[in-house]
Each structure stands twice: as C-alpha cells, then as structure tokens.
Amino acid sequence: MPSYNLAIVGMGNVGRALLRLLISKETDLRRRYDIRWRLTGVATRRTGWIADPDGLNPLAALHGHSLIQHGNTTQPRNLREWLERARADVLFEATSLNVKTGQPATEHLRMALELGAHAITANKGPIVHAYHELTALAKEKNRQFLFESTVMDGVPVFSMFPFGLPATDIRGFTGVLNSTTNVVLTEIEKGRSMDEAVKRAQAMGIAETDPTADLDGWDSAVKIVALAIVLMGVNVRLDQVQRTGIRELSEEKIRSVRAAGMRYKLVCRAERRGDGVDCSVQPEILLASDPLANLEGSSSAIRFDLDVFGLSFIEHNPGVEATGYGLLADFLRAVRQ
C-alpha cells in the first residue's frame, strides 16, 4: 500500500480544512484507494519550517500545538531544507494570494517540483504569473502541478475539460465567482451595513482579515485570468481585465434594487475575440429570471459557452471545507495517475 509524505505550507483556514479532511477520511483513503499518508512538514509564519520524516502529529498541527519533536532541536533554515528534510512526496501550497507577483507561492511550488514532489495549490497567483513555467517543469519531472481549488473550490472546473469534455472549444464564460462579495451583498440586502456584512463573511471563514482583494474585484479578476489561461489557452494579463469592485455601491441602492425584484452581483465575464479574450468584472443589476441572481450567501456559479452546447455549474453555499476538498481531490488525482 503506497504511503505518501505530505508537507503543508500555510496553516490558515484552508490548510486546517485540508488537514481535517485528511484525518476524517484517512480510513476511507486506505480502504477505497489503498493510500496511506503521514504529515512530515508544516510551515507557517508563526512556527517557521518544521519537518520530521518520521511524521508529525496532525492533530497537534490542526490545533496549533507545538510540533517540535523531543530531541529535534534544529529547524530547517529555508524552503529547500524543509522539503528535503520532510522527504515530501506532495506539497500543499495554501498561503495568501499575492496579486502582483504570485510570490512566495510560485517559488514554493517550483522548489517542490524541482525536488520531485507533486505540487498542489489553492493559490491563484502562480497560475496567473507562472502557469506555463510550472506546467513545463511538472512535465519534465514527471510530477503533477494541480490547482482545482483555486476557482469554485472543489468543483472540478479545470479537471473536467481534458477528461470529461475533450475536443470542446470555450467561446466564453459568465459567472459569480467571489464568495465574499456574494455574502456581503446578500447581508446588505438583509439590512446590515457594509462593515457588518464584511464581518459576517469573516466570521464564516470566507473573507480574509483584509478583504480588499475581494471587495475591489481583484480576486475575481485573478480567477478570470486563470480560467482564460488554462481553459481558453490565451495569455491574458491582469491589467487587461476591466475591473470594478463593490465598494462604491451604496447600501441604499443595493436594497432598493432588491426591493424592485432585481439584485446586484459581482459578475465575471470573458469572451473570445479573435486570438484574444475580452475580460471584465463589475457589479451588474440582474433580473430575477437570471440564474446568477438567485445565488445566496457564499454560493457561486459559472456558465460556459462551448462550441457544441452550454454548460453551467452552481456551488451551493460552500464553506472552507470545500476549498480543502479541492486540495484533497487533487492529491488523489496526482498519486493515482
């Protein structure tokens, strides 16, 4: 029965959700897939680089307890030493998004692949800034670079096309892809202020401590670019996305539109134009008959316009566990191929 050494960089909401799933599904992974795992590396800003090839206590990692083993007094000094000491077979990258550079997530993934580990991320930055480089490196090393949870959490948006929809051409897509803004708009419709709505999203574990990337449309813009690069084969840059967030919307206008039977949503759009793709993210007033208008809370949806038919996905009120599941699903895809 194969056993895999797992290393996780970033133990925030997503990293902990992944670890909870690994623990809860450990027996299932053994029985159904003949897969064993052990946690051999954890890296966070607070604890630094911690590694033990004999295994760390996953429950201690989950609850923030000390992982320093008795007699193990020296910690790795950098990323390479950490991965080597952990003898990582799989790296899970779950650090925060850096919109401008995609770092340090890109370097984490690059180093993992260079050292012969599968590289799995929930971070969209590396796709936008280094997709072709990391994909080529993974192929060279005969390893997997996977990123399903970067858009719509555990919904198989990326993995669906090469396996389930071969030889289709995506002409464009429309979606509501940012859970934070959807929660915020829904809560404002109920009477809460913008600040109260943001705090509600943070309490749900959906919004970051700093919600700027969500409210100003950066998170949605990055997702549009990631989808266009991977699924449409067009090298779109972030500065090519027409971007407007929800911060300038008045609470009164949001509620009055709702009272009139319509709703504001932060809508992502991409449409193929010749060899390029026109991309935008902006608040739009949607009629009640539009399926995107009916999304509640943290729900998200995307509609693909294919050359042979149209296809829609709706994710109903996912929590952070859905993002963790995307990482877990990628783990199974990586080691079973």
Point out the catalytic residue in the list 124, 223, 253, 265: 223
Measured distance CA(102)–CA(109) in Å, rounded = 11
Rounded (5°) CA angle 173-262-249: 80
223 is catalytic: yes
Phi, psi of 180 (to 5 degrees): -60, -50
Strand runs (DSSP E) across 144-299, as ranges?
145-146, 170-176, 241-243, 262-273, 276-287
Strand partners, 314: 301
The strands making up 118-121's β-sheet, listed across from edge to edge, are 48-51, 36-44, 3-9, 90-93, 118-121, 145-146
Measured distance CA(337)–CA(334) in Å, rounded = 6
Closest CA to 313 of 297, 301, 325: 301
Measured distance CA(189)–CA(214) in Å, rounded = 18
Q: Which residues are catalytic?
A: 223
